[in-house]
Every structure is written in C-alpha cells, then in structure tokens.
Amino acid sequence: MSNAIVESGATVRHGAEEGGPGENGREQLSMQQALNRALDEVLAESPKTLVFGEDCGRLGGVFRITDGLQAKYGETRVFDTPLAESGILGMAVGLAMAGFQPIPEVQFDGFAYPAINQIVCQIGRMNYRSRGTLPMPITLRVPSFGGIRAPEHHGESLEALFAHVPGLKVVSPSNPHEAYHLLKYAATRPDPVIFMEPKSRYWQKDGVDVSHGGSPTGAKVMRPGRHLTLVAWGAMVGRCLQVADLAAEDGVDVEVLDLRWLKPIDAETLATSVRKTRRAVVVHEAPLTSGLGAEVAQLITQGCFDTLKAPVERVTGFDVPYPSGDLEDEYIPNIDRILNGIQRVLEYRRG
C-alpha cells in the first residue's frame, strides 16, 4: 500500500500549526486543521450549534479535530459525553427537537453500531414521522475507513448501511479543501447528515481556499480524462489520482470522479463523465457484495447503457469483516488491483 495513503502505525497525531498561504492563495492545511476550522466557524456563526462526543471537550478528540474549541466556546457548547454511543445520538435527537444544531462525534466508525437504533429509527425518521414539524439538523461526524493500522472495530466502511436509510444524507470528503467546505455546508442543513471522514487522510496537507469552495453539492471531477472514469470517495480518491498518474505513463488518460455525496448520488455528473469516457471502474473500501459500488454501477448502466464499451468494473474490499491493521494491506484496494481493474475494462471485447 502506498505510503502517501497509509500513515505509519495507529498512533494519533496532534495537529500541527496551520500553514501560511500556498499556491493560488490557498492556505496549506491538513484535513484535521481544515475540519477544526470549519467547526470553529460554525460555532461562531450560530449559538445553537453544539459539538460533543467522547473526549471531544477538554482533550480535543482522539484525532484532535475539536482541539481548542472547548476553551474558546465553553463547556456548555463543546463538551464530553459518557462512553455510550446510543446516549450520544439520543442526546442529539433531543437537542435537535429543542431547536439546536448538534454536531456529535462517534469516535471511530466501528463504534457506530451500538447507535444504529437511534440513527435509523429516530434521526432518519423523525422529520418524516412528524410531517416536517421536527426536523433533525444533526451532522454526525464519523472518522471512517481504514489505513491507519488500527485494531479491530477501529476501521470500517459503513457508507452502504447509512445510504440505505431513508431520511439520511451521507457525504465523505477526500482532501482538506473538500473537508472544510463540505462540513460547513452539512452543519447548516435542516436534514441529518452522516459525515464520513477518512481518518487515513487527517494528516494530509493541501491547499484550502477558505473564501471559495465552489458548489458543495454533487460529485466533482478531480482529474479530467478521455479513456475511462475512476469513481471513488474518501481516501480512495487520492489513491485513484495516483493510479491515473501511473496509467498516463502508458498512454491511458483516466478521469477521476470524486462522488463526495454518497446520498444523494449526483447521477447527472456521473453519467456525463462516463458518457465521455465510455468506461468506468468504481473503487471503494467496503466489501463487494451489496456495497455502494453496486448502486453506482447501476446508475452508470441506466444513464449510459447506449454508450458503454464494457461492463462497469468494481475494485473493492473483500467479503469479510474489515480486518485489523496487520491485514489492511491485503484488504484495501491498492494501486495494482485498481490498475488491473482498468486493464480488464480496457481489454473487454464483446463476444
């Protein structure tokens, strides 16, 4: 697995000092810093915004995303909770019903399972059940996916589970710029949003234009191409950009599409890209069977059936529980597996 994506060890790293202006006037920030700034600004803009979760207050979160926020806004707006995910999300429901805009955190994606009842039966349904009188403006931050060599239950890929729940919106940023703007947008929505942060990217630094982020909705072309579209989200976008660079050395011009919003999926931008390239490979960390890639592949087939030159390929995790860190290299789609998927699509010939 590429060192650009895999961080060495599972040790949590403290946020570094923010960088100054970089290329094109963008500030050089890590994703951790970009998320922290977004939360800071949302808290400053609305006294109804509350940030809470296990160790989110005084410690600043296990990944330091909330670092310094309690000192700035006080213990009534940024606070620690008991180690009880169902309680954290139940509290968020009550606060939303009382007119607040909660931003709770589940410390690791694998810890979300005990709160599934609250997420599915309350957060996802309350607005529908109350005929619009009780909206759920909750942004649930979930450090997600693998790549940090953590123990079991500290790395999962739950996007298909969340996306299947009516009433929820699901988003996953791929870089610091997207993280900053997508979190600010999600935190002001009247609907519940599951915000899946790729924890292997927390320490990646990149340029962030805090003054302008473009449209925060829909998918985004990260690299234009002619021969094939790679569709990904979260940490796999960075990996696909690496793959596109390698493919270009062999004369294959790959377009990389960052889906960003996993629900609702931007079917129009997806179809526009694939109609141009006429081939597609979907890449994600979750298991193959019933993964979100199946939904993406169906949308591509439905929108591009008359132009496709090959079936949509999927390069994914395997149909096993997400493994602990010592097996991640074998599980997470690596550069060779994605390149092989591209080769299969390019070499496909109808019988």
* Residues annotated as part of the active site: 154
Amino acid letter, 57: G
Strand order in the sheet with 313-317: 220-223, 254-258, 228-232, 280-287, 313-317
- Helix residue ranges, H only, 164-306: 176-186, 235-249, 267-277, 292-304
35 vs 91: CA distance, rounded Å: 23
H or E element, residue 128: helix 126-129
Pairing of strands 49-53, 78-80: parallel
The two tokens of residue 235 are: 């940490």
103 vs 141: CA distance, rounded Å: 7
Say whether 54 sits in a helix, a strand or coil.
coil
CA distances in angstroms from 182 to 77, 132, 166, 189, 291, listed in the order given: 21, 24, 21, 11, 23
Phi/psi region, residue 157 (left: phi>0; alpha: psi -120 to 50; beta: rest), is beta
233 vs 69: CA distance, rounded Å: 28
255 vs 240: CA distance, rounded Å: 9
145 vs 198: CA distance, rounded Å: 6
